[in-house]
Amino acid sequence: MARDWQVDAAKSSLTFKGSYQNGPFGGKFAKFDAAIAFDEADLSKDKFDVTVNIASVDTQSSERDDTLRTSDFFDAAKFPQAHFVTQSFGKGADGGLEARGMLTIRDQTRPAALKVKFVASGDTATLDVDTTLNRLDFGLGTGKDWIDIGKDVPVHGHLALTGK
């Protein structure tokens, strides 16, 4: 049976990287929650269920953050949450552990694969996940006004966990 883990929000982060007119910028979501059940010895019982508060987006630019919350991008008023839930775990193309599931942003649900690194030490653990999303797959900034924004968005989650 997979062990349940509690997220320590103060020590955890969900970050992303973007580009605008070939200039890079970073961002994070300040509010998210995750239900984690994980045991590397039996991946069949493992589950990640992550909910992200879209309005908590923070790129250190209030103008950019406000734009990301509009209907051109996340439409935070209509779709206040993004959601990822695993369907399976297995070996990725690079031989590392991969979580495969469905990610919903706005009204678009797409398959997503996360590279997973889980390190446990007694009753604490860290979980690092990485993926790259194509923002156009989720209808984010699809108009001609947004062609100067990079379509590939690397995402990194670092969760500090305590065993339940």
Q: Is the confidence at residue 143, as pLDDT, over 90?
A: no
Spatial distance between the Cα atoms of 107 and 139, rounded to a whole number of angstroms: 9
DSSP letters of 74-113?
Answer: T-TTT--EEEEEEEEEEE-TTSSEEEEEEEEETTEEEEEE
Q: Is the confidence at residue 17, as pLDDT, over 80?
A: yes
Question: What confidence score (pLDDT) does residue 150 get?
Answer: 95
Q: Is the confidence at residue 1, as pLDDT, over 80?
A: no
pLDDT in tens, 82-141: 999 999 999 998 999 999 999 999 999 999 999 999 999 999 999 999 999 999 999 999
List b or e across 104-139, with b for residues whose CB sees 16 or more CB atoms inside 10 angstroms. Answer: bbbeeeeebbbbbebebeeeebebebebebebeebb
Token digits of residue 66: 């406000």
Question: What confidence score (pLDDT) does residue 40 get?
Answer: 87
Q: What percent of the chain has pLDDT over 90?
A: 93
pLDDT in tens, 37-92: 998 888 999 999 999 999 999 999 999 999 999 999 999 999 999 999 999 999 99
Q: What percent of the chain has pLDDT over 70?
A: 100
CATH number at residue 154: 2.40.128.110
Domain ranges, residue 148: 3-163
Domain count, the chain: 1
